Amino acid sequence: MKSEVACSMIETLTPIWQRVLQQPSIGAEDNFFDLGGDSSLALELFAEIARVCGRELPPVVIYQAPTIADLAALLAEPVAPRFPALVELKPGTEKIPVFLAHGLGGSVMDFFQPVKYIQTEHPIYGLQAKGIDGVEEPFDRIEDMAQFYLDAIREVQPQGPYFLIGFSLGGLVALEMAQQLSANGEKVGLLAMLDAYPYIRFLPFGQRVRLMARQVKRGLSIFRYLRGESYQPPAGVSFSPVMHRVRNRAYLALAHYKPRYYAGKTKFVRAGISTGFPEDPVAAWAGLIDRLEVETVPGDHLGIITTHFGSLAATLSRYLREAFSNQ
């Protein structure tokens, strides 16, 4: 019976894939990524699947089910799939992996474009937020996120050195992971934070005043912003109930996380176009990170991973070459 349902789903999914990927013919075993699929097309694909099939799945499912046959088999199951905390984004021939921590949305899809261009022989794993499957409860504390990911990482790599990269909220998660590893006597081979900052109320006074003035100009309620009550998506942007819950919990985690002093060296990649974030990372992290090495790449906060990912990937490739060569 299940195989009959899967066959029926293949017939349903095939024209959807053809429309989204603009391919006249797609086989059941053809790989989404080999067909030119990217993160924006994955979003479109799963929106179409939700509309036609009545089943809402997060786009990250494409990593688990990259063919029509795989996806049909998954949709034939009566219950939603569970998602692992670690997703291999890029295989490698070397033993020690690299771990990437997601932004506010909680998905490894953040790194869809940059990962393709990062030059390293080491496997790259993305960290996946708890609760993105709509079954488990998402975390609302950075400390809990970090512990959750470290438990998963140790299944793949029991001992250091560990190589951690985090974008936006993920930069704080990676920092907390580095804190916990260092406290346990483990070595951190690389900590790289990508346009990641403490929440406004934990910034130094001068930085806080400057950022508050900019937020007022943008028409935000500064008191609500300071309290960190809940995540408000940009105008015209909507999320599924599951993704909104994940983002809202992540926002609460961000708003209540007060970073502790970190004695290790940290690479920091700053977006060339500053939007709703501090303009000076060194001043923003003053007194919290011992050695902060800052580099600027083109684009705004989201643009560095969605549009100017080539520059970001080149920078991260260099960081990884230097870090691994120093081991």
| Candidate ranges 1-5, 263-267, 273-277; pick with highest mean pLDDT | 263-267
pLDDT on residue 236? 42
Strand order in the sheet with 188-194: 86-90, 124-127, 98-101, 162-167, 188-194, 262-271, 289-297
Rg over alpha carbons for the chain, rounded to the nearest Å, is 20
Q: Is the pLDDT of residue 220 over 70?
A: no
What is the percentage of the chain residues whose pLDDT exceeds 70? 88
Compute the average pLDDT of residues 274-290.
Answer: 88
DSSP for 146-194, written as a single string: HHHHHHHHHHH-SSS-EEEEEETHHHHHHHHHHHHHHHTT--EEEEEEE
Over the range 123-132, which residues count as b (16 or more CB within 10 Å of their CB) and which as e?
A: bbbbbbbbbb
Cα-based distances in Å from 261 to 161, 167, 237, 252: 20, 19, 36, 21
Q: In whole angstroms, what separates CA 248 from the centre of its chain?
A: 15
Q: Is the pLDDT of residue 228 over 80?
A: no
* pTM for the full predicted model: 0.83
pLDDT on residue 2? 46
DSSP for 30-81, written as a single string: -BTTTTT--HHHHHHHHHHHHHHHS----TTHHHH--BHHHHHHHHTSSSPP
Compute the average pLDDT of residues 207-229.
Answer: 57
> Is there a contact between 72 and 99 (Cβ–Cβ < 8 Å)?
no
Compute the average pLDDT of residues 272-276.
Answer: 84
Compute the average pLDDT of residues 301-308.
Answer: 90
> What structural domains does the chain harbor?
2-75 (1.10.1200.10), 86-325 (3.40.50.1820)
CB contact set of 150 (below 8 Å; sequence gap of 6+): 177, 180, 181
More confident residue, 4 or 248: 248
With bands split at pLDDT 50, 70 and 90, how would you rate the model's confidence at 79? confident
